[in-house]
Amino acid sequence: MLLYHLVFPIKYRRSVLIPEVEKTLKETCLLIGEFYEMNFVEIGADSNHVHFLVQGVPSMAVSVMVSKIKSITGREIFRKHPEIKKALWGGNLWTSGFYANTVGQYGNEAMIRNYIEKQGDSYVKFHEGQLKMFDD
């Protein structure tokens, strides 16, 4: 099992993460987790980017994990909140880049959670879960 700290900036650094959008993002991520053997340990956002603490299986590359999360969450948020698509011309919710780091020797889960919570003045945690074991 691997634990990743992922950060996805919103396209054009727009502040579109209102509570209803955060709820859709959380619900969509939990469904992604069930389908793709990912466990969203924490999801939170500052005004224009989202932090994820995601547990995955070693057989899935982090780039594949990021691609699935970005594409599915973007599609669902645009479907449920079409007004956001107007603010983000070009058809993408997320920028093309992302930040990814593994949680391990130099940063344990508690340390990473603390780091995430100290990001900016407006960080809001809208999901917190537990680490879990995946079935083979």
Averaged pLDDT in 10-residue chunks for the chain of 136 residues: 90 89 96 94 89 91 95 96 85 91 66 64 72 61
pTM value surpassing 0.85: no
**Considering 12, 36, 99, 115, which one is annotated as catalytic?**
115
Give me the long-range contacts of 25-32 (CB less than 8 A, separation at least 24): 25/50, 25/73, 25/77, 25/126, 26/126, 26/127, 28/72, 28/73, 28/76, 28/77, 29/69, 29/73, 29/127, 30/127, 32/68, 32/69, 32/72, 32/73
Domain 2-128 homologous superfamily, CATH: Transposase IS200-like (3.30.70.1290)
* pLDDT recorded at residue 43: 93
Would you call 115 a catalytic residue per the annotation? yes
Residue with tokens 């680490």: 131
Domain boundary assignment for the chain: 2-128
Q: How far apart are CA 28 and CA 44, in angstroms?
A: 14
* pLDDT recorded at residue 121: 65
